[in-house]
Amino acid sequence: MKKKVLHIVIIVLVAMLNAACYTHRNIGYLQERTDLPQYPKAEYEHYRLQVNDQIIYRLITMDETISKVMQTSGNTTSQNMFYRIYPDSTIDIPFVNGIKIGGLTIEEAREEVQRRVREIIPDAEIRLDMYNKSFTVIGDLKSGSFPIYKEKLTIYQALAMTGDVLQTGDRRHVRIIRPRTNEKPEVLEFDLRTNTIIDSKYYYVLPNDVIYVQRDKNSFFKVANYTAFTSLITSSLSLLVSVLSFVK
């Protein structure tokens, strides 16, 4: 009878151990389990410029007259200038106003600006880039805004910049809130643990994205590691033995 009770106690403790501790199954990345969501591959989505985005603009020309005008106005042909996209999706630059670039990729915008500028400066070469390339993270990790230092920044690289998701973070329901010009923001929800997230529509982070990681609702009942759990069980058993001894 004692052996049977002992076996039952061991089984219960093992079950509690698996349920109460964080494991690779709970928080590990790039898992190949078939019971996790399977996401299809998707083409990379280039960011499209939006209202209030800030643009870095540079004009290159050999036209001496234009160069003198630029120098007189305090600029040079090799100097970067910054412009904000107006609510009507346009920007105004020296010599040309009302260039509509909202909704375009940065390369499409460069081509459009260059086309307009060449109407008055035939040899003009234009360089464009975004100034405010950043994403924001909130929730159960280090919150804040972080720069996008390259074009194809992955979700794993973005989270690594924050110090990674805390153990208590819910990796099953990560959300990216993605603003859209003149539309409701798009909310992308995905499981961060599956390996099929690679090259899916959830894989890359775009400028102005907000990444939200909520706290796992079961985190209150979990401990950080097996050592902490063992210590908790040992203390509880010691207390139980002491109480039983005192009662006897």
| Position 80, amino acid | N
Instruction: Dihedral sign for Cα 170, 163, 167, 151, please.
Output: positive
CA distances from 54 to 102, 146, 175, 225 (A): 11, 16, 25, 46
Backbone angles phi and psi of 13, in degrees to 5 = -65, -40
Task: Evaluate whether 126 touches 99 at the Cβ level (below 8 Å).
Answer: no
How far apart CA 129 and CA 112 sit, in angstroms, is 13
CA distance 115 to 91: 14
The residue to which tokens 């194809």 are assigned: 152
Cross-sheet strand order for the sheet of 210-213: 144-147, 134-139, 210-213, 174-180, 183-190
Whole-number pLDDT of residue 234: 58
One pLDDT digit (tens) per residue for the chain, 248 residues = 545 544 554 554 454 455 556 688 888 999 999 999 999 999 999 999 999 999 999 998 887 777 666 655 545 455 678 899 999 999 999 889 999 999 999 999 999 999 999 999 999 999 999 998 999 999 998 899 999 999 899 999 999 999 999 888 999 999 999 998 778 899 999 999 999 999 999 999 999 999 999 998 864 444 545 455 555 555 555 544 454 455 55
pTM of the model: 0.75
Q: Which residues contact 187 (CB under 8 A, 6 or more apart)?
A: 175, 176, 177, 178
What separation in angstroms does the CA of 27 have from each of 23, 193, 219? 6, 7, 12
Q: Which domains does the chain possess?
A: 26-45+133-216 (3.10.560.10), 54-130 (3.30.1950.10)
pLDDT at position 6, please? 46
User: For position 180, what pLDDT does the model report?
Assistant: 83
Position 221 scores a pLDDT of 45
Tokens at residue 79, please? 């100097």
> Which spans in 118-193 are helix H?
155-162
